[in-house]
Chain A
Amino acid sequence: MILSFQKVGKQYSALETAVHDVSFEVGAGEFTALAGPSGSGKTTLLNLAAGLDFASSGRVLFLGKDLCRLNKVELSQLRRDEIGFVFQSYNLFPVLTALENVEYPLALKGISPKDRKRAALRALEETGCGELHQRYPAALSGGQQQRVAIARAIVSLPRIVFADEPTANLDSHTAKKLLALFKELNTNRKITFLFSSHDPLVLNMAGRIIQVCDGQIKSDTQSKKPTVVMGPPEHSNSHLAAIQSRYSFGHS
């Protein structure tokens, strides 16, 4: 089990309750969508899952660790090592090239420049942006930017990728291609995905849909035709070894 929400509530003020008594779990290799209208609490759930925000009640467990009990540095470490993020508006660093953007999480880990570049190029190739690596975000289309953002999210082989409305700013054609890429990464790389979306296109492709409304889970349904081929989750200690063998990393 990667993620577990146990009776989680989030209250911003006495009058504003974002999430109320939410419980669900996300297993390794899942391709799960948090569905619901705007303001239903999807983004809050993603923030709670990533330790960016803290539950007012209940517990959020990530790989068995209660996120409320981790300090800020441990949370940063967790996000750096185990989590990938894809945002609605891409959020690439405009002063960096596509390659440098993808290198960012690896630079944080202290990977040597040579290994970092090789891994980033490979991630960009996987997302179909290998030839665009020297371009700055401003010179890329929305779809290309989101692909670069995905490359940044997966470059350090996270256990899970959180994607907040990843197709909201894309046309349907580009969105489809992007979802196919997500699916491919989920299938081939066994990366777990947790989306928030109200895009029917995304929901159709999800293996599991958790319907959220007014901060509560209304339904949690498995897709009839799961397209995900799941393998056993890799052990935490062997995770870095997997990254290293894949990209031949050596810590600098």
Chain B
Amino acid sequence: MDHYFLKLSWKNIWRNRRRTLLTINAIGFGVMALVALYNYYDGFHDQVIQNVIRYQSGHLLVTAPSYHTRMATNLVVSDPSPVDQWLGTQEPVKAFSHRILVQGLVSTAQGSANIVFAGIEPEREKEVTRFAGNMVQGSYFGDTQQKSILLGSELAHLLQAEIGSKVVALTQGVDGSIGNELFFVGGIFETHSDFDKNMAFIRIQDARQLLSLGESAVHQIAIVLAGEEYLTAVQDQFLKTFSHSSSELQMLNWKEVQKPLMAMIELNKSANRLLMFIIIFVVALGIANSILMSILERTREFGVMLAIGTTKKEVVKMVIMETLLLSLVGVALGNLLGALVTQFFHYYGFDLAWLSSQKLVVQGTIIQTVSYPAIQWRNSLLISGIVFILSLIVSFIPIRHVSQLNPVKALRAI
């Protein structure tokens, strides 16, 4: 079959212009919705991941083995300097910072709360996470003279603490002693997350003092890379370099640290896939219906074709070609519209907040529902491919009809 039959198939699908346009619009709208939705979710997931990376774990964490699961204060990296030196030589490493995390009681004369104290290196932490940009009062460890503490806005409200207020931190040291220190509120931050009520930042040396830890001990070394693509390479290199001291060191990537988040994203993707199959199946049924109607109207013509020497295989090929052409036009339209919609929201953002009165919280972080999706050709290819395949599968109905045609009966058809 040459282009003659391609032309014939093309002309055939336009026999009933209105029906064909309706079918093409249905395919186009379905594909557009899916392409735009998939692009939105890709952007949204990426944003969630970036949020978690830049507010919590960074790309990689170096800890003592099993620290991440047990969170015991005595599980420390006692001497992080070899790791620091090694990180300094790794090109993909953009920044890293030491941390000490400890649960304890914070109190003022007006109240107390059980929180997590994060002992950080202020300057280095600024390169790793974005807390420094979330100060609403005071400054980010601007006062170097006093033992400064940064409180979340909700916590400050609960403790009725203001800038300069005294607060007492109380916790159990690694040696079993009770550690307590007096701090002055140096700043109040607001992240619109659970951190605002259950976290306070102090300098890392103050945290060590509170826990009676050694001079250089840390719980975590949080690392930010130049890009996600370096994750495995850096992890592999770390394993090679520190295999001799692996009993004391462990490097986890953010996916290992944020397993609930990954599970949520996977669940979300599965739900999207299900939605995609439902929409595409409905679209494919529309295509099959359109082709079937067109075939039922042409029964006599098929009889003529068979009478003048067309084989059933050739007729079936023609029907398949018509199905593919119809799908192709719809898919092309859908992808074009999907790309336009995506590009529009890429510049102006798309906020799903109006769908829910609840804030979306993942791993204690409120996720921004505004997404700035980007065109992802892999989504277009995936959706288009599935439309074509499902269209061909459901077109077995018209194909079966054609392949069972009796030429004599077909010639008698009105």
Contact = CB atoms under 8 A, between A and B. Distances in A.
B267 to A, nearest CB: 49
Contacts of B408: 47, 52-53
Nearest to B311: A76
Interface string B6-44: 011001101100000000000000000000000000000
Contacts of B360: none
A95 interface: yes
A125 B47 CA distance: 70
Interface string A72-116: 110011111101110100010111100010011101101001001
Given A87-B411, A91-B301, A103-B4, A50 B307 contact: yes
A52 B4 contact: no
B306 A76 contact: yes
B15 A80 contact: no
Given A50-B307, A52-B307, A81-B309, A95 B411 contact: no
In which size bucket is the chain B interface? 20 to 34
A147 interface: no
A113 B5 CA distance: 12
A96 B309 contact: no
A47 B314 CA distance: 21
Nearest to A104: B308
Given A113-B3, A252-B2, A52 B407 contact: yes
B314 A108 contact: yes
A83 B11 contact: no
Contacts of A95: 8, 11-12, 14-15
B311 A72 contact: yes
A96 B14 CA distance: 12
Nearest to B307: A85
Interface residues of A, number: 33
A94 to B, nearest CB: 8
Interface string B297-324: 0001100101111111110000000000
A107 B309 CA distance: 11
A93 B308 contact: no
B311 A73 contact: yes
A85 B308 CA distance: 6
Given A47-B408, A52-B408, A87-B304, A93 B309 contact: no
A152 interface: yes
A242 to B, nearest CB: 18
- Tell which of A79, A83, A152, A153 has the most Cβ of chain B within 10 Å: A79
B4 A107 contact: yes
B316 to A, nearest CB: 13
B301 A93 contact: yes
Contacts of A73: 311, 313
Interface in B275-314: 300-301, 304, 306-314
Interface string A172-205: 0000000000000000000000000000000000
B159 to A, nearest CB: 81
4 closest Cβ pairs, A-B complex: A80-B309, A95-B11, A107-B4, A79-B309
Given A76-B312, A80-B308, A110-B2, 13 more contacts: A52-B407, A72-B311, A73-B313, A76-B306, A79-B309, A84-B308, A91-B301, A93-B8, A95-B15, A108-B308, A108-B314, A152-B308, A153-B308
29 contacts: A52-B306, A52-B307, A52-B411, A73-B311, A73-B313, A76-B306, A77-B309, A78-B309, A79-B308, A80-B310, A84-B308, A85-B308, A87-B304, A91-B301, A95-B12, A95-B15, A100-B4, A100-B7, A104-B4, A104-B308, A105-B308, A105-B309, A107-B1, A107-B2, A107-B4, A116-B4, A152-B308, A153-B308, A252-B2
Interface of A: 47, 50, 52-53, 72-73, 76-81, 83-85, 87, 91, 93-96, 100, 103-105, 107-108, 110, 113, 116, 152-153, 252
